[in-house]
Structure 1
Amino acid sequence: MALRDSDPAEVGGYRIDDRLGSGGMGVVYLARSASGRRLAVKVVHAQYADDDEFRIRFRREVAAARQVSGAFTAPVVDADADASRPWMATVYIPGEDLGTHVRRHGPLPPDRLRELAAGLAEALRDIHRAGVVHRDLKPANVMLAEDGPRVIDFGISRAAEAAGMDALTQTGRVMGTPPFMSPEQFAAPHEVGPATDIFSLGAVVAYAATRRGPFDSPSPWETATRVVEGDPDLAGVPADLLPFVRLCLEKHPKSRPGPDELLHLLREGRLPDPRPEAAPPDTAPPRPRRRRRWPAAVAATAVLAAVAATGTLLARDGGDTPHALPAGWHTWHRQAEDPLAGDPDSMGPSGPFSRCVLADGSLLCAGDSIMATRFTLADGRNVWTRPMDPTPAETSSSGGGTIIGTRPGAVYVYGADDRDIKGGDEPESRTRYTVQALAPATGRPIWRTVVADNVDGMGPDINGAVAVPAGVITTYGNASDSYALLDATDGGVRWHHRLPAGAAPDCQLTGAAGQVYLICHTSDDDGNYERTTAAQLDPATGKARWRITAKGQLYLFGQTRGHLVLGTDPLMNRLTGLTLINASSHVLTTVRLTAPRTATGVHLVRDTLYLTLTSGSVHAVDPWTGRERWQSNSTVEQPGPPTASATRLYLASPTGRLAALDLRTGRVTGTLPGRDDGDTGGGPDNTAAPVLSGDALYVPYGIRAVYSVDVRDL
């Protein structure tokens, strides 16, 4: 591209040889260093040089590009964000960008397409490990170098840990390129994280395979609407990569695999198809299939605010999160019907819900004797309720079920069928445990699989089960001494393995950051727990990908920044420290808390460990340093598990008292009193966390009851 008279002869001491391209934000030149090394120098347009906010963004672009190793990007050589026209010099990468190549030569052949998918997954792994989210992965930002694709242009990237606290985003700007943006970039800019780049990866691979984006439309408004609500057009994508692309394009961020999972799938050569009607093959990434749709009106609002030809989108952000409320929404409170009312043998539902989730545009809850029940989001109408045990025995109490997880078109739950065994002085109750997939719209079973049958009360509701794209991994066998994968399509057992010898009663399956872990405790001859073994399971085979052993009896609190966070039960012993396990390198480190803590609840939410006490006290602890960030009296007695938005922490009591706390300071910013019908006799450990959907917060409380509130009113 020929130089123009207005182009500079040099920038920052680097001689300009040619123009490489020009965009809405600046011009990119081919330059040479004093030693002759070829560089790509990006120079910002003059009209942006006086924009202080733009200079901040440019400094952040330089910092972000420098954080990444350079193996899959263009390494930064030099930069000056304070120059009269800010500039940045990177190593020049010969070759075309993906967009130009596809326009000139057509779709990539299957072998190059697979190389592109693997190369971009490696690049994102590198970028995310550096703590950066790119946020604008598109064909023009992918260079086809001789040694594989390189990702360039970190102009709107940001640090992953600052995703919810970005001051520039809070001014109202949400930047990106519509056909390759994720749903949350339109509808929930404060919730943008690494999963956003995964969505863009899927769109880029689809473009490279078909010469069009999966959500293309002549209208930016319609493009955004399709991204948020529509199904992707994937006609022309090779069959072996269709599952890869579909997994990347899941609407909800938590349903998308991470780069490591995608690379594992590509290496194995067998990819699961996330569509509910498809029978998944043996290999599947361990990612819960939870899908949330954002209203099309939100996408419309964001796109109608587009103001420039630069590809920048402006979106309004009101309240904690920018989702619109469902059509016809109003505050409500409802109690689920008692499905066994009138049965003389039934002890009846008598406690709070243990978990509520969003699925298929509704709120699904479970707990105590309720297998699952559905409330509409707008008005709380209780559509259906199913009991844990449809025919309870005289001595039964039906157990405490919960929702295992969801996938499009199904919700996974527990069942417990109690039967009295006659004989002897007292009848004995035997329990047949099942895992079931229910249709969210009707509550009818799609399939039902028996996983245990015993008199010991040992079932998956105690030892755990985790939803993965291929189905449900659950404890299995009459003695619950094994674990198995139940197929998502029909509930059939695809594989099963015995739990470690002697540790079966003290093993639990749990999920964290989309992975499945088996946590087992081993005791000595005196019954003292000596060590804890954590193993990450491969959902395709059930075998351990890796395992590591730590001293003492530890419990998994969750995962943050690629590290498992474990600690002792603070109810039994004061929590003095944490054990961190790097999920990639498997290196174990310990972190001491600055002050030992006793707590009734420990919850890892948005990279912070929250310790709650029955008095309402909350301690926010940095799991990386062990330091206390803040301490607050939430005013909520017996607080259950918290829920967090980008700016606030929400806690509720079994009686329905609610408090909103500022995430940064712990200051109480709003409260609601408890309710007269909220006396359950239960404690915080069996109360479900509030569920946040846009500006609507759904608060479980009392006896199988829920109420809703607009968080902007708190």
Structure 2
Amino acid sequence: MALRETDPTEVGGYRIEDRLGSGGMGVVYLARSASGRRLALKIVHAQYADDDEFRTRFRREVAAARQVSGAFTAPVVDADADASRPWMATLYIPGEDLGTHVRRHGPLPLPRLRELAAGLAEAIRDIHRAGMVHRDLKPANVMLAEDGPRVIDFGISRATEFAASDVLTQTGRVMGTPPFMSPEQFSSPQDVGPAADVFSLGSVVAYAATGRGPFDSPSPYETAVRVVDGDAELDGVPSELLPFVQFCLEKHPKSRPSPDELLHLLRNGELPDPRPAPETAPATDTPTPRRPRRRKRLLLAAALGALLLTGAGALTVLAVNSEPAPIARDLPPGWQEWHKKSKDPGVEDDPIGPDGPFSRCAATGRSLVCAGDDVLATRFALADGSNTWARPIDDTPDDVVGGDQGTVIAARGGRVYVYGADNRTEGDSDHSRYTIQALDADTGKVIWKTITGDGPESTEPSSEQGFSTAVPEGVIAVHGPKGQQYALFDAENGKVRWKRPLPDPDTQMCLLRSAARNAYLVCRDWTEDAVSGTSIAQLDPATGRPRWTVTVDKDQDIVGQADGRLVALHTTGTRRTLTLINADSHIVTTVRLSEPQPESATPTLLNGTLYVTFPSGSVRAVAPDTGRRLWDSNSTVESPGPPTASRTHLYLASPSGRLAALNLRTGTVEATLQGRDDGGTADSTGLGAPLTLVGDALYVPYGIRSVYTVDVHTLRT
């Protein structure tokens, strides 16, 4: 939809790119943040902007809406209730809305109906858990995203209402869309609660199954009457989902299931508990005369007339009746929330300058040490983020631009192991001298420094690239002027304890990996520009020789170890299997994945579970021993880096620092934290950096050489 001359070009620092639509509340635009994130930004109409009560309620509702962060909703990213025209931005969900899709393509098939029903049940469960009611769940507010349905357009409309008890008597405003409203939204708006969303859910699923609403009528007034007193028209709803829809459409709110009960019904085919019946008069021998409906219909007419004037969705804040129990914290001594940017490491005449994020951080003692973007290492205090020192990866940069970005190889015992570089031109050729270094984490003092390679064909000993790895005895890295060896550099003094030759690089490409404190050499055999197989050898730390070697098909790499077995996956193409290697018996087992994993997905093994992350933000949990999917979710985090996990939650972050916490057992997104602009926008299209968890303190690299920390318990309050 083309922009108009009167449309703004920028709102709140977000660039307006397109007009998505307009409604009773305001205009919705497609906007883009400085980091490139696409947002749906709604600017309210001017008549609301002049209403002081509106602004008060808008501010309260936005604060509540920020708590809604489930995998099937569009989370609030930013808002400003004090702007000349208040606005709110949510994550933009590409795709068609359900109403448009059904009009164009017809009703959904049964598998997609089940996915829709489950996704919407999870969405309203998350909304209710955040203390709100959507009150305008309808096909136009359900986006059919690539990874499942998303509920949109919540967190703003409640601000246009007065007190619930005055909804009709003072203002006559009733919020909703008649074919998908609940009976109580017409008859007693002041009593509307979470059960109203369940009723709307049933109507939406019936619409998706048949192409029409269960109470459709040519007249909005007759539609309202049918919602309150009529029977639902459910012909065409598949028998498998008919009980689900019927339970949702119970007239009395107390007779409807909760979202959790609906999910149980989808999984098991029955509700977990008998439903309570609505209160009725005691039975008598004399038939009770039917009450006249004139008053109810007058009420409906007034409500519907007001509704046609407003035509907006609504949110209601629910009462909180009890205080949560205090939670014990496990935080570094003196910890407080902080966000810091690293000082300049002090390189003169740097031809590039800072433009990227850290590649990795690691904690030891009282220090968080980070490296990347040509930073050898920089130290932040775990407690308050004091950035006490920073060192460049190359003290004398010139026009020679290599791939040496820097990374933390390991950190332990108050030391951090990193690699340095010296790129220079000698005669007509470019030379690189690489070193492995051990630094004191608190002071940055070099404890030892050993050259790994010096020459035009030397290889940077980066663990990110698979050319170094840490073991208890020290660091194993490529060695020699052409990177033709691998060697162990002693943890205490950096001396080379042994070195071994690598295979011919024209026939084999080898990487160094570690898992469960053991080092492995992973070599891929090249045959006519294709990988014919991969050998995986466990190295003896005393000699560097292989203790044992197994061969697996095609190109594979180690992801980690679970239950005494190495887990390996193919590195290219669609992954349909994973390989398990018993670390003691060396027996190889191939496990078929219950669903293929694309090459673009990134695997991470944590606490015995394989987590597969996608650039879109989707996350899939897989059991390595069976290949079975445990859950599938959307973190709402774009381009997430490798996740980290506590005992209860999985944490992911984007390059801009947007953070999500997922329940380890269910995959439910239980909290999010918006990204940050104070670290600058990295000139990178890569993924977020790995996170570091120290007790309950989570450290998130973001932007340009920046880090922030948060107490993970506050994410779940």
* 1:669-699 deviations in Å (ceiling 9; x for gaps): 00011111352132444x4211111221110
CA drift at 1:350: 2.1
Q: Which amino acid aligns with 1:600?
A: A
Number of residues of Structure 1 aligned to a counterpart in Structure 2: 388
Distance 1:610 1:366 in 2: 25
Q: Which residue of 2 aligns with 1:307?
A: none
Distance 1:556 1:419 in 2: 35
Report matched runs for 1:690-701 at 5 Å. 690-701=691-702
Report matched runs for 1:388-399 at 5 Å. 388-397=393-402, 399=404
CA drift at 1:646: 0.3
1:496 aligns with 2:499: yes
Report matched runs for 1:124-523 at 5 Å. 324-340=330-346, 343-397=348-402, 399-423=404-428, 428-456=429-457, 458-461=459-462, 462-502=465-505, 506-523=509-526
Distance 2:340 2:532 in 1: 47
Distance 2:660 2:396 in 1: 39
Q: Structure 1 pair 562/407, CA: closer, same or farther in 2 (3 Å)?
A: same
Q: Structure 1 pair 414/607, CA: closer, same or farther in 2 (3 Å)?
A: same
TM-score, normalization by structure 1:
0.53
1:528 aligns with 2:545: no
Q: Which residue of 2 aligns with 1:543?
A: 545
> Secondary structure of 2:444's partner?
coil
CA drift at 1:489: 2.3
Distance 1:589 1:318 in 2: 47
Q: Structure 1 pair 646/429, CA: closer, same or farther in 2 (3 Å)?
A: same
CA drift at 1:376: 0.4
Distance 1:478 1:470 in 2: 24
Q: Structure 1 pair 397/531, CA: closer, same or farther in 2 (3 Å)?
A: closer
Report matched runs for 1:603-682 at 5 Å. 603-676=604-677, 677-682=679-684
Distance 1:690 1:592 in 2: 30
Contact in 1 for aligned 2:508/2:525 (Cα 8 Å): no
Contact in 2 for aligned 1:609/1:623 (Cα 8 Å): yes
Q: Structure 1 pair 421/611, CA: closer, same or farther in 2 (3 Å)?
A: same
CA drift at 1:503: 6.2
Distance 2:641 2:400 in 1: 29
Q: Which amino acid aligns with 1:337?
A: K
* 1:225-250 deviations in Å (ceiling 9; x for gaps): xxxxxxxxxxxxxxxxxxxxxxxxxx
> Secondary structure of 2:385's partner?
coil
> Secondary structure of 2:447's partner?
strand
> Secondary structure of 1:585's partner?
coil
Q: Which amino acid aligns with 1:403?
A: V
* 1:309-345 deviations in Å (ceiling 9; x for gaps): xxxxxxxx975xx65323332111001112135x224
CA drift at 1:711: 0.9
Q: Which amino acid aligns with 1:482?
A: Q
Q: Structure 1 pair 603/641, CA: closer, same or farther in 2 (3 Å)?
A: same
Q: Which amino acid aligns with 2:713?
A: R
Q: Structure 1 pair 474/615, CA: closer, same or farther in 2 (3 Å)?
A: same
* 1:79-121 deviations in Å (ceiling 9; x for gaps): xxxxxxxxxxxxxxxxxxxxxxxxxxxxxxxxxxxxxxxxxxx
Q: Structure 1 pair 363/345, CA: closer, same or farther in 2 (3 Å)?
A: closer
Q: Which residue of 2 aligns with 1:554?
A: 556
* 1:575-596 deviations in Å (ceiling 9; x for gaps): 1110110000000010111111
Q: Which amino acid aligns with 1:541?
A: T
Q: Which residue of 2 aligns with 1:596?
A: 596
Q: Which amino acid aligns with 2:593?
A: L
* 1:201-248 deviations in Å (ceiling 9; x for gaps): xxxxxxxxxxxxxxxxxxxxxxxxxxxxxxxxxxxxxxxxxxxxxxxx
Q: Structure 1 pair 682/467, CA: closer, same or farther in 2 (3 Å)?
A: same
Distance 2:383 2:349 in 1: 35
Distance 2:452 2:458 in 1: 13
Contact in 2 for aligned 1:484/1:497 (Cα 8 Å): yes
* 1:451-473 deviations in Å (ceiling 9; x for gaps): 11233462211342222232211
Distance 2:552 2:581 in 1: 10
CA drift at 1:621: 0.9
Distance 1:627 1:540 in 2: 39
Contact in 1 for aligned 2:346/2:391 (Cα 8 Å): no
Report matched runs for 1:72-91 at 5 Å. none
Distance 1:318 1:357 in 2: 30
> Secondary structure of 1:460's partner?
coil
CA drift at 1:480: 0.9
Q: Which residue of 2 aligns with 1:172?
A: none
Contact in 2 for aligned 1:654/1:678 (Cα 8 Å): no
Percent identity of equivalent pairs = 50
Distance 1:370 1:683 in 2: 19
Q: Structure 1 pair 592/372, CA: closer, same or farther in 2 (3 Å)?
A: same
CA drift at 1:512: 0.6
Q: Which amino acid aligns with 1:460?
A: P
Distance 2:662 2:647 in 1: 11
Q: Which runs of 5 or more structure 1 residues have no equivalent in the other structure?
A: 1-316
Distance 2:585 2:659 in 1: 41
Distance 1:344 1:448 in 2: 24
Distance 2:680 2:663 in 1: 26
Q: Which amino acid aligns with 1:703?
A: I
Q: Structure 1 pair 457/352, CA: closer, same or farther in 2 (3 Å)?
A: farther
Distance 1:698 1:318 in 2: 23
Q: Which amino acid aligns with 1:347?
A: I
Q: Which amino acid aligns with 1:364?
A: V
> Secondary structure of 2:416's partner?
strand
Q: CA RMSD in A?
A: 2.0
